[in-house]
Structure 1
Amino acid sequence: MSKPLRLGITGGIACGKSVVATYLQQRYGLPVVDADKLARQAVAVGTPIYQAIVDRYGGKICRSDGTLDRPRLGEIVFAQPQERQWLEAQIHPWVIAEMERAIEMCDQPLMALVIPLLFEVHLESLVDRIWVVATTSEQQLARLQQRDRLSGHAAAQRLASQLPLEEKIRRADTVLWNTGSLAELYHQVDEAFSSLGRNGKGG
Structure 2
Amino acid sequence: MKSWIITGGVACGKSLVTELLATHLLKDRSRVFSSDGTVQELLDTPEITTQLVRHFGESAVVHQQGRILASREVLRAEVFADPERRKILEQILHPRVLKSLEQAREAQAEMGVNLFLAEVPLHYEIGSTVSADLIIVVASSPEVQKRRMMDRRGLDESMIEKMLRAQWPIEAKVERADVVIWNDGDRSALEAQVLTLVRQHWQA
TM-score by length of 2: 0.91
Aligned ranges 1:130-169 → 2 under 5 Å: 130-169=135-174
CA deviation string 1:50-76 (max 9, x = no partner): 210022222222234132110111000
Aligned ranges 1:165-184 → 2 under 5 Å: 165-184=170-189
Q: Take 1:194 and 1:124, find their aligned partners in 2: how far apart are those partners? A: 27
Unaligned runs of 5+ in 1: none
Q: Which residue of 2 aligns with 1:26?
A: 23
Aligned ranges 1:187-202 → 2 under 5 Å: 187-198=192-203
Bigger mean CA offset, 140-149 vs 92-101:
140-149
Q: Take 1:38 and 1:125, find their aligned partners in 2: how far apart are those partners? A: 15
Q: Take 1:125 and 1:27, find their aligned partners in 2: how far apart are those partners? A: 24
Q: Take 2:45 and 2:75, find their aligned partners in 1: how far apart are those partners? A: 15
Secondary structure of 1:126's partner? Answer: coil
CA deviation string 1:72-125 (max 9, x = no partner): 110000000000000000100000001011111112121110000000002354
Q: Which residue of 1 aligns with 2:13?
A: 16
Structure 1's 128 and 36: CA in aligned 2 closer, same or farther, altered over 3 A?
Answer: same
Contact 2:138 2:180 in 1 (8 A): yes
Contact 2:62 2:71 in 1 (8 A): yes
Contact 2:52 2:61 in 1 (8 A): no
Q: Which residue of 2 aligns with 1:43?
A: 43
Contact 2:14 2:138 in 1 (8 A): yes
Structure 1's 15 and 184: CA in aligned 2 closer, same or farther, altered over 3 A?
Answer: same
Aligned-pair identity in percent equals 31
Q: Take 1:42 and 1:123, find their aligned partners in 2: how far apart are those partners? A: 22
Matched letter for residue 24 of structure 2: R
TM-score by length of 1: 0.91
Structure 1's 158 and 136: CA in aligned 2 closer, same or farther, altered over 3 A?
Answer: same
Q: How many equivalent pairs are there?
A: 195
Q: Take 2:81 and 2:174, find their aligned partners in 1: how far apart are those partners? A: 26
Shift of 1:41: 1.6
Secondary structure of 2:138's partner? Answer: strand
Q: Take 1:88 and 1:148, find their aligned partners in 2: how far apart are those partners? A: 22
1:72 paired residue among 66, 71, 74: 74
Secondary structure of 2:70's partner? Answer: coil
Q: Take 1:24 and 1:36, find their aligned partners in 2: how far apart are those partners? A: 17
Q: Take 1:51 and 1:22, find their aligned partners in 2: how far apart are those partners? A: 33
Q: Take 2:179 and 2:201, find their aligned partners in 1: how far apart are those partners? A: 10
Structure 1's 96 and 159: CA in aligned 2 closer, same or farther, altered over 3 A?
Answer: same
Tell me which protein shows more strand as a share of its residues. 2
User: Structure 1: which 4+ aligned runs deviate by more than 4 Å?
Assistant: none
Unaligned runs of 5+ in 2: none
Tell me if 1:88 matches 2:90: yes
Matched letter for residue 6 of structure 1: S
